[in-house]
Structure 1
Amino acid sequence: MSGANFILLINLSVAGLLAAAFMAVALHDAGRAPARWFAFGYLLGMVYSAIEFSIPAFSDARLPVVAAFAVFLAATIAFNGGLARKYGVAPPWSPMLVFLFAATVAVYFVQDLPRQSLVRMMAYQLPYAVMQFVGLAIVWSSRQRRGRLDLILMGVLAASGLQFASKPFIAHALGGWGANPQAYLQSSYALVSQSLGTVFALALALLTLAILARDVLAEVISKSEMDMLSGLLNRGGFTRQAELAVLGAVRQGVPVALVIADLDHFKSINDGFGHASGDRVIETFAGLLREAAAGHHAAGRIGGEEFAIILTGTNLAGARLFAEGTRSAFGTLPIDGLPADNRCTASFGVAELHPGETIADLMRRADEALYLAKNAGRDCVRVSAGPGGEWPANAMVVSSRSG
């Protein structure tokens, strides 16, 4: 058995294992459409390897050669379909399928050219290169935030496209790709070509598996940090996001403030109108915070009726105004399940991060300010003194109450 035959068998086995791996991801989560397309692509890779391995058994290899080409090109198209699904880009199915048909027809007709013709070799390899660059364009055009793994994937797609484009010249340098299709697997070029194919197929598969695993892990973390009733972060998730916000604010030299709110007389709402009405009060207040956060700030439900929002780039005065606006808006909102004349209110504590403080210090001071607001009769805003007990200059203009 030649070295190329051995590599081809390895490719067959590797493609099968990778198809199984992607299928396992798809079966784990029925919503993983990208994994199904990747699995289909590597299944087609198995078919390609099987056809290539069988070519020496044919006296006229024209049809199996064209079939192998078409199947492998279809595998790259399926892979691009998975990339499009993963990165939220509309899959360019029509152009890719038209390209598949045109390229297959071209390969069929170039079979009449001399075997070592550069045109013939380029007709066989350049379509693969084009599909790799289409995959690169799909990732590049995505509006999703690209991390390090995504950038590496783009680099590997570019390198894979270049290696396909260079293969005609590699074949020429190594003395061609065999006197006929049956002799291909005995050539030095076949060993190099199949080895390169294995390396890039593995690299792309491992990267896409790692990216899918990263996304699954991110979803698990997100769900574990989410409060289902309010749709906001739970206490653990909020604390983690607040810590990141504080670190970022310190690094960038911008202010950061914390607002903690507590729904007033919430137990009496549950006792008087039922827990379903209490849940709607929580959902309504959470909706206000979620709209105010607008993806720029982290908001969370950190207790039964206690909420918090970290405001990056906002000083104490700005955070106080935010709290006053939220307090005023909440007091005017009708709540389903409560009498029309019943209005719910909330109390607020506000604190700005001081040099040398941690998120724990900031939360403690905001809690102290909230305690002052509740002792002042509720439905009002109070700000926190600094770490040394000094009050900010605007501390006396911080409290208001509805009628």
Structure 2
Amino acid sequence: MTGALLVFWVIVALCTIEALVFLGLARFDPKNRAALWFSGAFAAAAISFLGEIVLTTGFYPGPTRMVIALAMVAMFVLLAYGLAIRYRVDLHPGGGWAIGTASALLYWLILDLPREDFVRQFLYQIPYALLSLLSLSVIWRSRSKKRLDRMFIWLFAFLALHFLAKPFLALWTGGVGATASGFSATVYAGLSTASGAVLLLILASGGLALLLSDTAGRLVQKAERDDETGLLSRQGFTTHAERRALALAEAESTERVDLTLTLIAIKAAAPSYALALPLRAMAALIGDHVSRDALVGRMADRDFAILSPHTNLMAARRTAEALRVAASANLSEPDRPVTLSIGITEREKGEVYADLLARGLWALDEAERAGGNCVRLAARSSFDLSNIRQG
């Protein structure tokens, strides 16, 4: 067994494993639709390299070469569509068929040209180079790019250059072999397959890291969400609120950013109505009244919280009053009135989320002491909350 043939078997095994891993990821996380396309892509790559092994036996060399070439084209097309799904970039559904058809026609036209003809070798690599650039363009068109995304851009750029350089590499190393069965014994075959194996491994590893990070992000997000309302859970809200308040504290020397915390307790007319409270509708109503950059969480069975950046105390109060009136008008039934008790506090210099929460709870308690269906503002931090009257 030649070195190139051994590498072919290794690549087939790696591609098969990667295809199964991506398939498993797609089954585990159905929302990760790109994983299914990546699975198909590496399955196609496995077929292509398996064809290279078959070609060394001399079995139907013409059809086998077509399978090798078109399976590799299919791999790059499937990768491009998988990336388009992941990066939310439009890619025309018929484009893949058009590319496949054009590639099949090209390979059929050059099939009978001499194997060592330079023009044939160059034309053979053009579809792969162009498809690499197609994947690059998909990532380039995405709105936000992180470090891993930029790594993929460079990887696909290198892949395009890699394919265009192959005919020159073959010329420099003594050719691709006079016959298909003799290809695996050439120096070019060893170099080409080894570099291909490394690039495929990098591509598979990077793709897996990219899609796994998406799934992990969804799992974290799901853990931070309240199933009934779709809002942040108490833990999720607290985590994000602490981060925002800490970031503001660290940036205080350069700029001041208003930040308010609004705590809401939804009440029914009687305890027997508690289970019938329209919590999902309440969550939607809050979403209609707050800005897009506000954090909204469900803190307990009937308690909600809003952390609003770039909002001062008076602006938060206007929003709270509008929300209180809207809840009474839209969520109440004739025999089941719904009222809100609302407490609001504004972040002061040097405060973290725990300080905001303590004064916000005091304001909410004051609203409930007043009989509910009202809004109360928190005392200043200089006011000693420990001296508040009890009872």
Q: Same fold (TM over 0.5)?
A: yes
Q: Give the counterpart of 1:339 among 334, 338, 343.
A: 334
Deviation of 1:159 after TM superposition, in Å, equals 2.1
Q: Aligned partner of 1:231: which letter?
A: G
Q: Aligned letter for 1:126?
A: I
Paired residue total: 381
Counterparts of 1:1-400 in structure 2, within 5 Å, are 1-58=1-58, 61-142=61-142, 145-251=144-250, 253=255, 254-264=257-267, 266=268, 268-271=269-272, 273=273, 275=275, 277-278=276-277, 280=278, 282-335=279-332, 338-339=333-334, 343-389=337-383
Contact 2:343 2:361 in 1 (8 A): yes
Aligned-partner residue type, residue 302 of structure 1: M
Counterpart Cα distance in 2 of 1:44 and 1:141? 26
AA of the residue aligned to 2:263: I
- Report the alpha carbon displacement of residue 320 of structure 1 after superposing the two structures with TM: 2.1
Q: Which amino acid aligns with 1:309?
A: I
Q: Is the 8 A contact 1:245 1:310 kept in 2?
A: no
Structure 2 residue aligned with 1:394: none
How far off is 1:288 after superposition?
Answer: 1.6
TM-score in terms of structure 1 length: 0.87
TM-score (norm 2): 0.89
Maintained 8 Å contact 2:344/2:363: yes
Deviation at 1:214, TM superposition (A): 1.4
Superposed CA deviations along residues 58-104 of structure 1, whole A, max 9, x for unmatched, are 27733322221111111211222222233334443322222222222
Distance 1:230 1:31, change over 3 A: closer
Q: CA deviation at 1:390?
A: 9.2
User: Partner letter of residue 62 of structure 2?
Assistant: R
Contact 2:297–2:306 (Cα < 8 Å) also in 1: yes
Letter in 2 for 1:218: G
State the Cα distance separating 1:30 from its structure 2 match.
4.1
Say which SS state the counterpart of residue 301 (structure 1) adopts. strand
Q: 1:189 to 1:228 in 2, by over 3 A?
A: same
Q: Which one-letter code corresponds to 2:85 in the other structure?
A: R
Cα distance in 1 for partners of 2:181, 2:210 equals 39
- CA shift digits 1:11-62 (9 cap, x unpaired): 0111111111112112324444322221121111111111111212227733
Provide the C-alpha distance between the structure 2 equivalents of 1:260 and 1:11, rounded to a whole number of angstroms.
58
Distance 1:5 1:57 in 2: 11
Percent identity reads 29
CA distance in 2 between counterparts of 1:31 and 1:230 reads: 20
Residue 301 (structure 1) shift = 0.8
Matches of 1:345 and 1:129, distance apart in 2: 65
Whole-Å separation in 1 of the counterparts to 2:31 and 2:266: 38
C-alpha spacing 1:180/1:293, structure 2 compared with 1 (3 Å): farther
Question: What are structure 1's unaligned runs of at least 5 residues?
Answer: 392-403
Which runs of no fewer than 5 residues in structure 2 stay unpaired?
Answer: 386-391
Which residue matches 1:399? none
Q: 3-state SS of the aligned residue for 1:382?
A: strand
Note the C-alpha offset of 1:192: 1.7
Per-residue deviation at 1:236? Answer: 0.3
Q: Distance in 2 between matches of 1:390 and 1:162?
A: 70
Query: 1:233, CA displacement in angstroms?
Result: 1.0
Q: Work out the CA distance in 2 between the residues paired with 1:21 and 1:384.
A: 54
Superposition deviation, residue 362 in structure 1: 0.9
- For the aligned residue pairs, the C-alpha RMSD in angstroms reads 2.3
| Counterpart Cα distance in 1 of 2:331 and 2:103 | 64
Q: Deviations over 1:345-403 (max 9, x none)?
A: 21211112222221111111111111122223322222223322299xxxxxxxxxxxx
Q: 1:302 to 1:40 in 2, by over 3 A?
A: same
Counterpart Cα distance in 1 of 2:129 and 2:292: 39
Displacement of 1:239 in angstroms is: 0.6
Distance 1:388 1:234 in 2: 31
